[in-house]
Amino acid sequence: MMLRHTVIQSPIGEIALVADTQDGVDCLVGVYFRGGKQRADDADGQLVAIADDDFLDGAARQLAEYFDGAREIFELPVALRGNNFQKSVWDLIAAIDYGRTRTYGELAADLGSVGLAQAVGRAAGQNPVGIVVGCHRVVGSDGKLVGYAGGMERKRFLLELEEPADVREARLF
């Protein structure tokens, strides 16, 4: 396996985008923040920097559109690498709509037991494709911001970015 990556600039700092080809299809396998708990070099396999890659260029373009407020849904093939429990959590997270949040407990209940909330939190923290699979949309049971592999300031920024304009304006007053 040969992973390829590029680094882009964003309003929340540098982001490494990591891609792989599986069964002839280019897939996003990693979105990593500089200074975050996860790093691009944590990805399995050989990591090669690519200067000109149509797939990575497209992923970068979609992220730029997201940060500009022009994109709510990513249209990228994603290959989530993890165990079955992690994948089930990431699938639930991927289903959270732009501008919405769910709690770790709600996701745990969807999996069959609210007692799984901490395990859900651990799995969310290991999500390799943050932003695209929006784990920033998962909050504590009281609605407070807790846990984010990219750091709490980034989580706050992403949630505020997704707020409807009327909510954002009301919050300013």
Q: Residue 40 corresponds to which tokens in the numbers above?
A: 């691009």
For residue 115, the Cα-to-chain-centroid distance in whole angstroms is: 24
Which helix (H) or strand (E) element contains residue 33? strand 25-33
Contact partners, residue 76, CB within 8 Å, separation at least 6: 27, 28, 58, 59, 62, 132
Catalytic residue among 135, 149, 158, 161: 135
CA–CA separation, 36 vs 1, rounded Å? 24
Whether 135 is catalytic: yes
Look at residue 95 and give its three-state secondary structure.
coil
Q: Are the CB atoms for 40 and 30 separated by under 8 Å?
A: yes
Active site (catalytic) residues? 135
